Chain A
Amino acid sequence: MKDFEYFAPKTVEEALSLLSQYKGEAKIIAGGQSMLVVMRQGLLAPEYVVDIKGITALDYMTYDEREGLRIGALTIHRAIEKSPIIQKHFRVLSEMERNLATIQTRNWGTIGGNLCHGDSAGDPAPVLIALDAKLKLKSLSGERIVAMEGFSKDLLEVDLEPDEMLVEIQVPTPRPHTGVAHEKLMVMQGDAGIVGAAVSITLKPKEGVCEDARIVISNAASVPMRVKEAEKRWIGKVVNDHLLAEAGDIASAEADPPSDVHASSEYRKEMLKVFVKRAAGKALERAKEG
């Protein structure tokens, strides 16, 4: 690993000042669970490293029935996994975290770091998109709120200006009769999904007809991809087995997955059919439970 100049700000303001000062040349490190791997391989060699892991003010989780869930960007994955509030009101987040890497990684890696790394094979992003989450970004000149959906611009590229920092993840309380589920193809539990799917279904209570749906697939394109074409087919209908399978077929057709050491593009396309259907089926069950 190359040497770098190192800063360890203790507050958000200090961190933002550093980012502003070294615009473009400074790289933030949080838990470093994604970043250190590529740094050790010589693929990433920033001149200035701003270590925000010590900013304890960004390590929190709050829940309010009206406002929903607010997670500080430096909350570790393990805390989200184990949080009783999240297990009760946003079960899918805890389930997703349980299958993310290993316990050790979750004990130090942060949700914010994961999202800003922008890996299209990552799990938090598709689940947060399915949950219609928003992100709060801050810079010295102010703050802005962006939808999780638009945050990923390309593989490893996110909508963050060089002087900006992610500070908070906001997840709205799901509407009644909404079910959300996440499934991914792993060889070993915790593996990055060879493919993955996060699905949210909202039903109209009396008729059991689908009112709203979000289908997001991972490792199927250079960013987490929403399959809007498949979602449309469900709106206004009672979602049955046939429609679940159809969604899988559409997702598979729209995706352009990579071929790599883990799986070929063709295999990924086949597996998308299976995993979209599985996640959708689970989401539907949960929506029916109310």
Chain B
Amino acid sequence: MNQKGIGYVSKTPNFLIEGGIGMKGEPRELKIKVNGMLYELKVKPKALLSDVLRKDLKLTGTKRGCLESTCGVCTVILDGKAVRSCSILAVQANGHEITTIEGLAKGDKLHPIQEAFINHGAIECGFCIPGRVMMAKALLDENPNPTREEIRLAMQGVLCADSGYVKQIEAVEIAAERMRGGE
């Protein structure tokens, strides 16, 4: 893949193209910017954004959890807003900008939110963490000085079966303070 400019993905979509019978399911053009890189690909209208990210773009950091829009582990940032990628048709993201967990670190340097989660022991099995970190990023990008209640509400958007959320809320507070300090 071309690291510098436009990343072309092969025209063969994740789902095999059926032999041109009628228009149903005919693959459509999709132009999206993901983690700063522009992609042009063809997807079936029924393809979900989470599947395109994971299967076509090989960005598997975004997880598939409940398949019914309840758990939030599929959360990514679309045009600055946290959204559930399993509940958006990929074609609806055409022309939009997406950030996934893979887009946070700069080379080897982790994002302050990622570091706070690791250093504060806020990660247990880790499955909900990518979605959770993206929720936190969306929150802090919009509101660099959130109250604990606001952080709690943001964390509520992604379910965790392990932790009880306290460490995660604290990690976001720690990250927020560090980011306000200018990192």
Contact = CB atoms under 8 A, between A and B. Distances in A.
Whether chain B is bound by chain A comes out as yes
A6 B89 CA distance: 11
Nearest to B87: A36
A63 interface: no
Interface of B: 22-26, 28, 44-46, 48, 67-69, 72, 75, 78, 81-84, 87-89, 91-92, 94, 135, 138, 153-154, 156-157
A121 to B, nearest CB: 15
Contacts of A54: 92
A4 B47 CA distance: 11
A29 B89 CA distance: 10
B82 A190 contact: no
A104 B84 contact: yes
A3 to B, nearest CB: 3
Interface of A: 1-6, 8, 29, 32-33, 36-37, 40-41, 47, 49, 51, 53-54, 78, 102-105, 107-108, 188-190
B67 A104 contact: no
Given A4-B24, A32-B87, A51 B46 contact: no
Nearest to B68: A37
A126 to B, nearest CB: 22
Nearest to A82: B142
B87 A189 contact: no
A51 B153 contact: no
A59 to B, nearest CB: 13
Contacts of B83: 104, 107-108
B69 A33 contact: yes
Contacts of B75: 104
A37 B100 CA distance: 22
Given A2-B46, A37-B68, A189-B153, A47 B88 contact: no
B153 A103 contact: yes
Given A3-B44, A189-B156, A107 B82 contact: yes
B99 to A, nearest CB: 14
A189 B156 CA distance: 8
Most chain A beta-carbon neighbours within 10 Å: one of B44, B89, B154, B156: B89
Given A33-B69, A37-B69, A103-B154, A3 B89 contact: no
Contact of A107 (B24, B44, B81): B81
Contacts of B24: 3-5, 47
A51 B92 contact: yes
Contact of B68 (A2, A41, A107): A41
A189 B157 CA distance: 10
A8 B25 contact: no
A1 B72 CA distance: 20
Contacts of B92: 32, 51, 53-54
A3 B46 contact: yes
A51 B92 CA distance: 8
A6 B23 CA distance: 9
A107 B22 CA distance: 34
